[in-house]
Amino acid sequence: MDALHLSSEILQLKIKNFLILFVLLGLVIGCSNPSSSRKDGWVAVKDMLGRQIFVPEQVHRIIGLRAGALRLLVYMDAVDMIVGIEQNEKQGRTPYL
């Protein structure tokens, strides 16, 4: 493998990891306790590991990645907020859209 190809793969992995984190944060916001502390446009919530994290109070765009994420977004009635999906979802095998 040449260095250019390797750096391209690393960049793709970093982008994919960032998008996964973004989706998970969106799910945490949707499933969080409404009485969580709020400050300056940010909401403090606890993630699934019990850590307190801060996420934007208003989320307007979501990317559905990995198995089941798009389906969960549909269940949460957030279809109008979806701005990106994976290629396999575009192939017409999604009866829930």
pLDDT digit string (tens) for the chain, length 97 residues: 566 666 777 777 788 877 787 787 777 776 655 554 667 889 888 877 888 888 888 888 888 887 678 888 888 888 899 888 777 667 766 565 5
**Dist CA 64 CA 62 (whole Å):** 6
Residue pair 43/32 in contact by the 8 Å Cβ criterion: yes
58 closest CA partner among 48, 73, 43, 69: 43
